Chains A and B, each alone.
Chain A
Amino acid sequence: QKEVEQNSGPLSVPEGAIASLNCTYSDRGSQSFFWYRQYSGKSPELIMFIYSNGDKEDGRFTAQLNKASQYVSLLIRDSQPSDSATYLCATGDNAGNMLTFGGGTRLMVKP
């Protein structure tokens, strides 16, 4: 049974701070890793993906992957109240056919 674990939160950060969201996964065969953002009552949307060990930056977002530790994280710099949402971590299988989602971390950015 593949598992993806996230702290449910809420994680509360002040506006302008760095938010750090973490995720661990059980399947060592996972090849791809994704962060989806889900606003309350809405559907998930992809914000970052990462395939290789190290960091990947896109604007205010940085995804970090450590396959040896089976750990992936998302950093959000200069957090804004509009970043308040639930962030879902997901891992992809070898074939790229299926995703396994974590339970999500609720982020609250306070003005």
Chain B
Amino acid sequence: NAGVTQTPKFRILKIGQSMTLQCTQDMNHNYMYWYRQDPGMGLKLIYYSVGAGITDKGEVPNGYNVSRSTTEDFPLRLELAAPSQTSVYFCACQTSGGARGEQYFGPGTRLTVT
């Protein structure tokens, strides 16, 4: 099993461009999350989903959109990229059952906006 995969690994965007960060999990977990991590900082929750068709905002949703059409995929869309969105983006999943809080993270996407 691959666990949680993210593409691309690295990306440089120009201000005003748009892109989609892909996240796929093969763990059959209902809950999925997008975080951003700025240098030397902790993780900030952008959006999360508790199942296909259900999404909700986290702490820092502005400038981002998500969709969840399947259990496996949870893409994050950046519209009109800004330098403030330069960060490392992590996708994670979590079972809806007993081990709440044990989140499995993908390898991350390092995004630079210039």
Chain B residues whose CB sits within 8 angstroms of the CB of A97 once the complex forms:
31, 48, 50, 100
Closest chain B residue to A96, Cβ basis: B100
Closest chain A residue to B110, Cβ basis: A41
Chain A residues whose CB sits within 8 angstroms of the CB of B48 once the complex forms:
97-98
CB distance from A29 to the nearest CB of B (A): 15
CB pair A49–B43 under 8 Å, yes or no, is no
A63 at interface by CB-CB < 8 Å: no
Closest chain B residue to A44, Cβ basis: B105
Chain A residues whose CB sits within 8 angstroms of the CB of B43 once the complex forms:
44, 88, 101
CB pair A49–B42 under 8 Å, yes or no, is no
Closest chain B residue to A1, Cβ basis: B59
CB pair A98–B105 under 8 Å, yes or no, is no
CB pair B105–A99 under 8 Å, yes or no, is no
Query: Which residues of chain B (73-109) have a CB below 8 Å from chain A?
Result: 90, 100-103, 105-108
B61 at interface by CB-CB < 8 Å: no
Task: State whether A32 and B100 are in contact (beta carbons under 8 Å apart), knowing that A43-B107, A44-B90, A98-B58 are contacts in the complex.
Answer: yes
The number of inter-chain residue pairs (CB within 8 angstroms) is 53
Chain B residues whose CB sits within 8 angstroms of the CB of A92 once the complex forms:
100-101
Closest chain A residue to B31, Cβ basis: A97
CB distance from B35 to the nearest CB of A (A): 8
Chain A residues whose CB sits within 8 angstroms of the CB of B44 once the complex forms:
101
Residues of A within 8 A of B (CB): 4, 6, 8, 32, 34, 42-46, 49, 88, 90, 92, 96-104
The 8 nearest A-B residue pairs measured at CB: A96-B100, A43-B105, A101-B42, A103-B42, A101-B43, A92-B101, A32-B101, A46-B102
CB-defined A-B contacts under 8 Å, sample of 9:
A32-B100, A34-B102, A43-B105, A44-B43, A49-B102, A97-B31, A97-B48, A97-B100, A99-B103
